[in-house]
Amino acid sequence: MTFLNPPKAELRRRRLMVGAASVALTALVMFAFLIESRSGYSKPDPKLIFFQSWSADRTREDAIADQKATRAAQEAKMAQSRAYIATLQGEARAKAQEQYDAYVQGGGADKEIPYVPAAGTAPAPLVAVEPPVK
């Protein structure tokens, strides 16, 4: 029945093995967290999408007018960029044209100018009203 009363050498060896195993397991868990944080395994950040809010009495004609105003603003920005590129010469013009093409390919004006209200059709701003004091 030496397992009930082991010699001191046996106790020391068991304690060293348990201590080494606990240190190794802790190091393994920490290493796994380090690798996971660097590898991009985590879920990507959520993509936030904002929507324009309109009143309930907005008509289809108002929506079409807003779309036309937005498209006109986008086209004006693109025309301004093309006019600037036309003033350049040589290598600067080629680089600017490449940047413009990449901008258009990436949906540039659509991202920069997502909404422009038509004249007179802008939604009414929200007004905060404090409750009456009793």
Query: pLDDT value at position 41?
Result: 65
In the chain, what are the domain boundaries? 7-41, 69-112
CA–chain centroid gap for 22, Å, is: 40
Under 8 Å between Cβ of 88 and 96: yes
The pLDDT value recorded for residue 105 is 86
Q: Report the pLDDT value the prediction gives residue 125, as an integer from 0 to 100.
A: 52
77 burial via Cβ count (<10 Å: 0-12, 13-18, 19+) = middle
pTM: 0.50
Q: How far apart are the first and last CA of the chain?
A: 85
What is the block-wise mean pLDDT of the chain (134 residues), using blocks of 10 residues? 79 93 97 82 71 79 87 88 90 90 82 74 53 60
What is the pLDDT at residue 27?
A: 97
Residue 15 is predicted with a pLDDT of: 92
The pLDDT assigned to 40 comes to: 66
